[in-house]
Amino acid sequence: MDDVQESATSLTADAERLLHELVAPEGRANPYPVYAKLREVAPVFLTGDAAYLTRYDDCQAIIRNPSLGAQSPAWMDVVRPGWRDHPGLRVTHESFVFRDPPDHTRLRRHVSSDFSQSKVRKWHGYIAAATADVIDQIASAGADGGTVDLHEVLATTLPIKVIGKILGVPESDFPALRVPLEGLRLAADGSPADKLPVIDKAGEDLLSYFADLVALRRRQPEGDLVTSLAKVRDTGGGAGQPDDAVLSEEELLQTLTLIFSAAIESMADLLLNGAAALIDFPAQAAALRADPGLTTGAVEEALRYDAPVQAVGRIARGDCEVGGVAIPDGTYLLGFIGAGNRDPERFPEPDVFDITREGPAPLSLSGGAHFCLGAALARLEAAVFFPALAGRFPRLAYAAAPVRRGFALRGFASFPVTVR
Ligand code: HEM
């Protein structure tokens, strides 16, 4: 073996080792130092039928490239035969986040105007009131100097309340929906076989929940999204009768389940990841308190610094090239957007949380055709929450070490704080 081959082999071995470190407990707790090493060793690491990307530009290139595919049902048929027997995998991979055009375009079009910037703005008052309630709840829970688990508070209040209002999910149903939401979250980390029973039950429970709610809204219509989307289904998009080519009954329920789950888990993660950054960088919290005009910067920096969604996948449809590396047809491209957000080429001192930072947009809400449908709503919820938290609790501190959870969806399982 000559020198070139030898160094290529050791590079590959290093990169493989780093990939394993990423999913090990220490890497899950803090993936950023591992990303930094992987970016140095092999920024585009092609191994087997997958390629792993850790540079900003390469991640951006794949999320914006329309010729790359999603992890679609057709792709799942190849890589995971038998997946259609699993309701949890079906509700995930048949929903439009994993569909390619024309289905993706058709399904997204039914809901895109409901989450436009101008439509979302009308929820500002509701979000402000819901946030004030949560902040009061935290204040009274911590009034005696005791510990408050922010994860517990946020998992049962703000994100679910906001999307519940938009969709028309009654608050009285929230507690029962928590278990399937947590179950479906497991699908984000690649739906490991041992978790499939939980994921399947979660998928079934959420689909049947929305089937019941749709039936109720057909009998008692309201001004909410469940009612309006059921109408699209029942009228074939205005043609007068149901038409599966416009929206099937199954797609109706999958779309509602996608929006509901996407709007809660990643949103709670952003609010907690941002709260952690404000505690870890107290001067930034003080700056935000002193100048609410820094709110937009705080939201963008929270999205960049510790992204709730750490990776986005695409499929090469034909041979292509990413970051100077030849990518064979069919390769699964995994863009570690959490790593791209810490690329020193694009963000000087990337490991510093700086709400006055200028620079490119974080990759955290993806881009291209699959740009996060809820981006405007997510930014609004965060823009109301962060200054409220920093403003009301200048002495916010950890009561004990917070417990991290998840990899592809990065958040906290518990977040104990004191507020006095
Ligand atoms: C901070 C919170 C959020 C983060 C970090 C986030 C992140 C993302 C990302 C990275 C994607 C793209 C996946 C891809 O490119 O394959 C995405 C898609 C999506 N998000 Fe969000 N999201 C958030 C909040 C929301 C909210 C509040 C909603 C509510 C409507 C939502 C609904 C969706 C939907 C429906 C898609 C699929 C879009 C498509 O494939 O066309 N998300 N989100």
* Ligand 1 site residues, Cβ closer than 6 angstroms: 63, 96-97, 108, 115, 258-259, 262-263, 266-267, 270, 308-309, 312, 364-366, 370, 372-374, 377-378
- In the block, tokens 């089937």 appear at 211
Domain that holds residue 117: 3-418
Written as six digits, the tokens of 414 are 């518990």
Counting ligand 1 atoms within 8 A of each CB, the residue from 64, 167, 266 with the most, and so the one to mutate, is 266
Q: How confident is the model at residue 1 (pLDDT cuts 50, 70, 90)?
A: low
The enclosing H or E element of 158 equals helix 158-167
- Between β-strands 148-149 and 416-418, what pairing exists: parallel, antiparallel or unpaired? antiparallel
Q: What's the CA gap between 221 and 345, in Å, rounded?
A: 52
Q: Which ligand 1 atom sits nearest the alpha carbon of residue 377?
A: 27
Q: What's the CA gap between 335 and 39, in Å, rounded?
A: 12
Name the domain count of the chain: 1
Indicate if the pLDDT at residue 4 is higher than 80.
no
CA 205–ligand 1 middle distance (angstroms): 22
Provide the percentage of residues in the chain whose pLDDT is more than 90: 93
CATH code where residue 94 lies: 1.10.630.10
Prediction pTM value: 0.96
Looking at every residue in the chain, the average pLDDT score rounds to 96
The enclosing H or E element of 398 equals strand 397-398
What local confidence, expressed as pLDDT, does residue 9 receive? 83
Q: How confident is the model at residue 7 (pLDDT cuts 50, 70, 90)?
A: confident
How distant, in Å, are the alpha carbons of 225, 271, 335 from that of 126?
16, 17, 35
CA 111–ligand 1 middle distance (angstroms): 13
Q: Which ligand 1 atom sits nearest the alpha carbon of residue 308?
A: 5
Residue 336: exposed, middle, or buried by beta-carbon count in 10 A (0-12, 13-18, 19+)? buried
Q: How confident is the model at residue 89 (pLDDT cuts 50, 70, 90)?
A: very high
Q: What's the CA gap between 322 and 327, in Å, rounded?
A: 7
Indicate if the pLDDT at residue 6 is higher than 80.
no
Provide the percentage of residues in the chain whose pLDDT is more than 70: 100
29-43 mean pLDDT:
97
Indicate if the pLDDT at residue 11 is higher than 90.
no
CA 173–ligand 1 middle distance (angstroms): 23
277-283 mean pLDDT:
98
DSSP string, 265-329: HHHHHHHHHHHHHHHH-HHHHHHHHH-GGGHHHHHHHHHHHT-SB--EEEE-SSSEEETTEEE-T
* Nearest-CA residue for atom 30 of ligand 1: 374
